[in-house]
Amino acid sequence: MKSVVLTFALVAVTASANADDQWVSVGAARPVAPATQNTPTDSSVRAAVTTPANNAPAVIPAASSGLLSEMSMQMEQMQQEIAELRGRVEEQDNLIRRLTQEQQERYLDLDRRIAALLAGGSPAAAPVAVVKESPAEAYKNAMTLVREKKFAEANVAFNDFVKNYPQDPLVGNALYWSGEVYLVQSDLDKALESFRKVVTQYPDHDKAADATYKMGITLHKKGDVAQAKVWLQKVIDLYTGKADGTVRLAKSYLAKLS
């Protein structure tokens, strides 16, 4: 009789152990392996949001959600930096072309002076020319002030450039960077005026897309969300396929406002 009871007890214990491997009662916690310190990958994030077998709603872990948010912010920052670098490269190209042209003009002028000296037989016969700062040099000096964070002096230099060289191709650039400096100084009205001049007076300029985007940013900083959305949408409508880096920034910013 005792052997029968002992056998029955062993069977019951074995069945109970097998049952523990098959299910967990409501409220009970199934043992899990200790968490590792590895950063979650895309596959682990997808696994975290997979619906469990009991059809309970999946919950994204707070750590994974924070990681995705941080990655999104880093991507947006990189896009902004790329757009600014692209603008600087365009400006450098313009400066190189202008400096090359001015160097050639100076060489020809020097050649004419030497020819005049030889023809007249006296140095006094050569015309005396006053050396004046070239447009490219004036613009370069203004940008140097920006890099040195001498913002008040930089805006004076940009405004002088626009007045002194109104027909120069770099006027659009000067107006745009003047707006950027005013924006850094939180002078939103003057920043808006500078960006608007680029958009209205130089619609085909390389800086027109960036100026349109900054119109939206400045209007948002002024509290006019409705108009900010209008200008950000203009960037998307007018410059898709032409300035895609700026378009991506506009879409990202517009999504935040929406």
Element (H, E) at 240: none
* Regions of the chain short of the pLDDT cut 50: 1-58, 123-130
What total of structural domains would you count in the chain?
Answer: 1
C-alpha separations of 230 from 41, 64, 213, 216, 237 in Å: 38, 34, 10, 7, 10
> How many helices and strands, by DSSP H and E, does the chain display?
10, 0
Backbone angles phi, psi at 149, to 5 degrees: 65, 30
pLDDT at 139: 95
CATH number where 214 lies: 1.25.40.10
pLDDT at 2: 43
Rounded-to-integer distance, Cα 151 and Cα 48, Å: 50
b/e code 4-38 from CB counts within 10 Å (16+ = b): eeeeeeeeeeeeeeeeeeeeeeeeeeeeeeeeeee
Residue 91 falls inside a structural domain? no
Q: Is 79 within 8 Å of 249 (Cβ atoms)? A: yes
Give the orientation angle of helix 62-120 with respect to helix 135-147, to 10 degrees.
150
Residue 109 falls inside a structural domain? no
Rounded-to-integer distance, Cα 71 and Cα 79, Å: 12
Degrees, nearest 5: CA angle 254-79-184: 75
Rounded-to-integer distance, Cα 79 and Cα 176, Å: 19
Residue 119 falls inside a structural domain? no
Residue 39 falls inside a structural domain? no
Residue 77 falls inside a structural domain? no
Range of the domain at 218: 134-257
Q: Is 217 within 8 Å of 48 (Cβ atoms)? A: no
Residue 49 falls inside a structural domain? no
Residue 204 falls inside a structural domain? yes
Structure tokens at 184: 């850094």
Residue 2 falls inside a structural domain? no
